Amino acid sequence: MSEMLTKEPVRTGEQSIGGLFLAVLKRDLLLSYRCRSDLVNPLIFFLMVATLFPLGVSPEPDFLAQVAPGVVWVAALLATLLSMDSVFRSDYEDGTLEQTLLSPQPLFVVVLGKITAHWMLTGLPLALLAPLLGVMLFLPEGGMGGLMLSLLLGTPTLSLVGAIGAALTVGLRKGGVLISLLVLPLYIPVLIFGTSAVQAAVTGLPLDGYIALLGAMLALGIGLAPLAVGAALRISVSG
Amino acid sequence: MAEKKKWMPRWFYQMASPRWSYEIMGKLMPWFAIPAAVLLVLGIAWALAFAPQDYQQGNSFRIIYIHVPSAILAQSCYMLMAVAGAIGLIWKMKVADMVAKSCAPIGATMAILALATGAIWGKPTWGSWWVWDARLTSMLILLFLYLGVIALNSAFESEATAAQATAVLALVGLVNIPIIKYSVEWWNTLHQPATFTLTERPAMPAEMWVPLLIMVIGFYCFFAVSLMMRTRNEIIHRERRASWVRELIEKQ
Amino acid sequence: MSFDSFSEFLAMGGHGIYVWLSYAIALVLFVINLASPLLRKKQLISELKRRLRREKSTS
């Protein structure tokens, strides 16, 4: 990674923040693209979880239509959680993470780049796939737009907060379930406003308030989460 | 020679010494233990036998004398845990780390007590063993935050790394608590009928709020005692190779 | 006193089980929170004593 960033001749002070962000984003997207099967797993999981509800509870259209917003959101949440562990793990294992922490580049930007890559590969596809689940769960058509919009705004926040959990546990051998335990309570506000947005869309009420709140949480996440992630990464690597 | 300005009182820097902290806590304990015992016994007796019953809820109202103090403690304890963790991170103070670690199980206990008494209170009031009341749901999420902190702390092999990671998590949780509270309360107004909330406290006559105050202070004193005991144990464990600890053990 | 007799005190106007259950749980949790650190202290001390004895005998 340091190789990619320092491939250009050293131009102190000229390396822009935007350039750094894009370089990190490109690298992570490229690395993930090489392992395409991993990309599809969260999406399959997403579909399967949504299928569990009709099978486990009831396939009645009336019932499913009522629970559809919540079910899709919970499935998206769980699928995101499942994929969180991989954000930093491969870099940690081959030593790249340590190099990144030692480099003079601002950690905030690097972290933001990695999380954006993760979102583009998990949250974004989930949001785009969601209407399919909506159809399977008899979500009324008026709700589809709200579903996608709420997920588009909510999943980045999920990636940001999930990255905190991933960073805290990257040094541990068995990170998996622990990340979920740490991060799920923090996901609850996003879940509440996300599902409310969809329900408002279904009943034809204005979405503005919920979208604004989701946006506010995203803004807070973008501002603060990379700080926590950076601190957590330093702790995990040095520990 | 310029004296570097100290921003904190002297005892703060003295606490950096585990030995000093151990000794001062030993001296402070009786000052909290005795008031704790007195206030709790007095408070419970008053709560059970002398306070009047609520005209709407009857005698089940007496549960408030356990439910409210434990809820207050559960929240204060989290704040202390986060602050102690922050102090440990910023000043690299071992004792602060140990205080933070000791807070977690006590806070979790208080949260469990608040939830249990809240649920039990719900049965005669609402007819069911659990209500998704805003405050109970927030308390449940607080319990999850505590459990996460405890789980993270025990996952690390190095005590120092565990303390740092836990501190970061506690601080992230601290920032989230107002957000969680707001969202749960808002969610609750959507989904619960707007009736008398479980923990609403209408203007209480003195015979009702005085025992409540006594119980709250008694709970705080008990919390201090339990915290000091646990922290002293941590100090002994972490400083076991120090000579003062060896002397202390030999005297036992 | 808010109650006229001891049996009334126990019954709590029909809510007896709820009130007493709550206070009992509180008591149990308090006792656990006192006993746990005390037991741990004993454990720590005996462990350290053993280690000191071992070190003395080997030195």
Q: pLDDT tier at B4 (50, 70, 90 boundaries)?
A: low
Please tell me the distance from the alpha carbon of residue A187 to that of residue A153, in angstroms, as a whole number.
13
Asked if the model's pLDDT at residue B193 lies above 60, the reply is no
Please tell me which residue of chain B has the smallest CA distance to C38. Answer: B229
The average confidence (pLDDT) of chain B is: 88
Distance between CA C33 and CA C53 in Å, rounded? 31
**A and C interact (at least 3 Cβ pairs within 8 A):** no
Per the structure block, which two tokens stand in for B139?
Answer: 């308390």
In the beta sheet, which residues pair with residue B32?
A: none
- Going by the DSSP 8-state scheme, the letter that residue B56 receives in this structure is T
ipTM here: 0.86
What Cα–Cα distance (Å) separates residue A116 from each residue in A22, A45, A110, B49?
Answer: 10, 21, 10, 61
Residue C57's identity, in one-letter code, is: S
For residue A143 the two structure tokens come to 């709700």
| CA dist., res. A235 & res. A227, Å (int) | 12
Question: How far is the C-alpha of A221 from the C-alpha of B43, rounded, in Å?
Answer: 44
Which chains have 3 or more CB–CB distances shorter than 8 Å to chain A? B
Who among B49, B124, B249 is closest to C15 (CB)?
B124
Mean pLDDT (whole number) for C20-46: 94
SS3 B54: strand
What is residue A4's predicted lDDT score, i.e. its pLDDT? 59
pLDDT score recorded for residue C2 = 67
Task: Identify the sign of the CA torsion A147, A150, A152, A156.
Answer: negative
Closest listed residue to residue B220, CA positions, set B98, B68, B11, B48? B68
pLDDT of residue A176: 74
The SS3 call for residue A27 is: helix
Q: At residue A152, what are phi and psi to the nearest 5 degrees? A: -60, -35
Chains with ≥3 CB–CB distances under 8 Å to B: A, C
A228 touches chain B (CB under 8 A): yes
- The band of B251, judged by pLDDT with boundaries at 50, 70 and 90, is confident
pLDDT at position B5, please?
A: 66
Contacts of A169 in chain B (CB under 8 A): 152, 155
Percent of chain B with pLDDT over 90: 58
Q: How far apart are CA B156 and CA B148, in angstroms?
A: 13
| Whether residue B192 has pLDDT greater than 80 | no
Q: For the residues C32-59, what does the mean pLDDT come to?
A: 90
pLDDT over 90 at B175, yes or no = yes
What is the pLDDT, as a whole number, of residue A71?
94
Which of B62, B239, B240, B247 to substitute to test the interface with C, most C CBs within 10 Å?
B62
Cross-chain residue pair B155–A224, CB shorter than 8 Å: no
Of B199, B230, B193, the C-alpha closest to B75 is B199
Residue pLDDT, tens place only, B124-173? 887 878 878 888 899 999 999 999 999 999 999 899 999 999 999 999 99
Residue A7: what pLDDT? 55
Check residue A205 and report its DSSP letter: -
Window A:148-207, CB contacts with B under 8 Å: 164, 168-169, 171-172, 174, 178, 181-182, 184-186, 188-189, 192-193, 196
Neighbours of C32 (CB within 10 A): 12
Average pLDDT over residues B178-205: 71
Q: What is the pLDDT of residues B99-132, one digit of tens each?
A: 999 999 999 999 999 999 998 888 888 787 887 8
Q: Which of C3, C28, C33 is the best mutation test for B, with the most CBs of B within 10 A?
A: C33
The stretch B88-97 carries a mean pLDDT of: 93
Written as one string, the DSSP assignment of B209-252 is HHHHHHHHHHHHHHHHHHHHHHHHHHHHHHTTTSHHHHHHHHH-
pLDDT of residue A12: 52
The single residue listed with the structure tokens 């209170």 is: B121
Q: Show residues of chain A in contact with B158, CB under 8 Å.
A: 239
Contact yes or no for A224 and B175 at CB 8 A: yes
What percent of chain B has a predicted confidence (pLDDT) above 70? 92
Taking alpha carbons only, the member of A23, A161, A218, A160 closest to residue A103 is A23
pLDDT computed for residue A111 by the predictor = 95
What does the mean pLDDT of chain C come to? 86
Tell me how close the Cα of A102 comes to any Cα of chain B, in angstroms: 19
Q: State the pTM of this model.
A: 0.89
Which pLDDT score, from 0 to 100, does residue A13 have?
Answer: 56
- pLDDT score recorded for residue B61: 81
Q: Which of B112, B249, B250, B251 to mutate to test the interface with C (most CBs of C within 10 A)?
A: B249
Over 70: is that where the pLDDT of B197 sits?
Answer: no
CB distance C9–B252 less than 8 Å?
Answer: no
Mean pLDDT by 10 residues, chain A (239 residues): 54 73 91 82 91 90 92 95 89 91 92 95 94 93 92 96 95 84 95 94 91 95 96 92
Residue B96 has pLDDT above 70, yes or no: yes
pLDDT band at B196 (very low <50, low <70, confident <90, very high): very low
Residue B78 in this model has a pLDDT that exceeds 80: yes
